Every structure is written in C-alpha cells, then in structure tokens.
Amino acid sequence: MPSVKHHASNILNEYGAAQCELVGKAVALTDGQAGTVEDVWLDELHGLRISIKGHDGRWPVSTIKFREN
C-alpha cells in the first residue's frame, strides 16, 4: 500500500506544479483562441485540461502554445 500512496502523492504534486506553471499565463490554442489560463483540471480520460478566461469550455493542455518572449 505505501507504493500506491507514493504514486498518488507524486500525481498530486505534479498537478500542483502544473497549476502553478499554467494559471495566469498567456496562451494561444491551436484553434486560434487566445487568452489567459484561468484554471487547470485533472480529467481522468484526457489528463490535464485548461480553461481560458473569457472563453467557454475546457481544452486539453496539449492544444496550447505559450507566448514567446
């Protein structure tokens, strides 16, 4: 059982790190929509999904591109 708890803890730690890295960042989706990441969800079927401020819906994290400096 300890290894299961260890794996679950790792997943939650990585999810928290992804939230910190993504929320508030300017991104563009592959379909052309752009905005700021408002929230991040862990979806059991698709992995990480994001919402963009001002746009309805949740998108897979794989569809975003970060703003280049």
> pLDDT tens across 22-33, in order?
899 888 888 888
Predicted TM-score (pTM) above 0.95:
no
Position 23 scores a pLDDT of 93
CA dihedral for 9, 12, 16, 17, sign (positive or negative): positive
Q: What angle do CA 23, 28, 34 make, to 5 degrees?
A: 85
Position 1 scores a pLDDT of 59
Number of structural domains the chain divides into: 1
Domain CATH number, residue 34: 2.30.30
Contact status, residue 69 vs residue 54, Cβ threshold 8 Å: no
**Which range of residues forms the domain containing residue 22?**
2-66
* Cβ burial, residue 31 (10 Å; 0-12/13-18/19+): exposed
Low-confidence residues of the chain, pLDDT below 70? 1, 67-69
- The residue among 68, 29, 34 whose CA lies nearest residue 53 is 34
